[in-house]
Chains A and B, each alone.
Chain A
């Protein structure tokens, strides 16, 4: 076991998969000579050369689509977006081509491609650089959407994503690249579509993914001091979503708060809440509540941004509400 940063395990996963399969290649803005805007691809150009590690122009539509075409024709591209906020420029290639060509061709064409990069807000970057896309991508059939919250999950899931024959959206966070965790030295893969109970508890279930998992974790630690035992579930994969683990937990705790960075309308929390009311209606002792970013774009001003971005306090408030502690 070694302490590794999130960015290091992304790099390790890429390197291991590139060593294993010569059809895996990496492209994106600044991934090669610059060694990655967030250093996730550091050293790959030196090891694999410019045939397999390619700097692209700032041309998201072009290189996203080029990646899809290369995947159709037998390669396994890993396309880095400097952030998923920029991927919107090329989203037609993901939503119409990557997601739908398998079905439209009657299953004749597979598209094993990974689109990865940071997602969501990362401080005062203004509205266009602060969108969380996990609900957006999970909306489209044909795509897998993965949203890990720590280095261990990120490495195992990224390796699985590269080997998967479906197009995968792999969401990271600028604010998590420096996060450290013990990671095994030996190779491991994690199954796509399996949630993990990261804290067992009996009083309330919290479902939280990606960067927002950590505000839920802080809230759970704080609540424990007050005698509230939270069961904390990290879905890890948004699509397919491991609803069974959530439903089983809610049947035990009878209460649930869903924490997710997407906006509320049609967001991940909305879907999880719907599934719970349908499948665990008789078990609920309180309405399911959610903590998300508000229904407005991210503002710049620190004061407004802090108001916009939920933290442990909002999670604790929601838990207090569903446990009738207020």
Chain B
């Protein structure tokens, strides 16, 4: 079957065609990955926090608490959580506009994150960035970026500066499968390999570039984009936390030591539409149901219970704690003030007294 014959909506046969094929998950256990039992619970908590934070965000959006775009990461939490766990705290993260999950794992507090969605002064970008532009450089989170593919050269530059300063930090840059088709990917890959920059490029292949399935927007395999540059690459199961931790750890060691880039295709799935206005009619209910069966949070929960690392009631307690945190964040955001009027003319230039034209 040629690429053009494929379609993700196969109502005639009712068979499920996944937008992307998942590679096999790692067989390693938490012990094999040097994850302690306490860390395992923390990882569960982190993923569940991202999930609940976004479910509440969606409610608040629907209640009219804030406007603009809202792109949800739900379903992809193993990618953010696993990557942050595998890398050092001072390694540099940068991502696209679906940035809530990565922002939260890199140290933006739920309060700051929710306040930013609300456009409030206590937001992680002082209410000036919104959902798509979370920033916290002090925690090495270099932002959510909303022009598709435009942050890939920034990641090369952040990595360039780290190499220049010989500080041993690794940069990791996340983007969606839609960004793979941009020229910026090819220019960044060329520069990163040519100048041997310590950067890991990660395409979070969630199957759809907005509403266009991968096989309808990209020729060839995504991971093969590394080939012409002689860049190392691999494909990872992004619905399985352990697989992400396993591979990103291995790749980070390589990049840190060799000072060379690496390309990872992490196959994952977003449960919600591209944004709040998207009913996702371009895919089948069966496809969504299929992925929900391998939900990364449920998968970790089952693992924890099976291995008797914690009991159901312990995890329920974690869930309750997360629920409280998120509700507090909503309350915090609601009570936070909008930015002062003077803020309109601040943070654009280095000087507060810049002589703006009127």
Contacts and interface: CB of A to CB of B under 8 A. Distances in A.
Interface of A: 25, 51, 54, 56-57, 59, 61-75, 77, 92-93, 96-97, 101-110, 141-142, 144, 164-166, 193, 240-241, 243, 271, 275
A166 B143 CA distance: 19
Contacts of B356: 141, 240
Contacts of B106: none
Interface stretch (B184-192, B215-223, B292-300): B184-192
A59 B187 contact: yes
Given A57-B191, A106-B129, A66 B357 contact: no
A65 B89 CA distance: 24
Interface in B319-358: 346-350, 354-357
Contacts of A61: 153, 183-184, 187
Contact of A96 (B123, B147, B152, B355): B147
A240 B147 CA distance: 27
Contacts of A54: 195
Given A106-B135, A166-B350, A73 B190 contact: no
The 4 closest A-B pairs by CB, nearest first: A69-B157, A65-B153, A62-B187, A106-B126
A102 B129 CA distance: 10
A166 B128 contact: no
A102 B158 contact: no
Interface in B126-157: 126-129, 133, 135-138, 142-143, 145, 147, 150-157
Contacts of B133: 104-105
A144 B151 CA distance: 22
Interface in B172-197: 183-184, 187-188, 190-191, 194-195
A16 B155 CA distance: 29
5 contacts: A72-B161, A73-B161, A104-B129, A106-B126, A109-B143
Given A62-B153, A73-B157, A93-B150, A107 B191 contact: no
B246 interface: no
A106 B157 contact: no
B92 interface: yes
User: Which of A72, A142, A193, A275 gathers most chain B CB within 10 Å?
Assistant: A72
B153 A68 contact: yes
B197 to A, nearest CB: 9
B160 interface: yes
Contacts of A275: 357
A102 B347 contact: yes
A265 to B, nearest CB: 18
B154 A72 contact: yes
Contacts of B157: 65-73, 77
Contacts of A104: 125, 128-129, 133, 135, 143
A110 B190 CA distance: 26
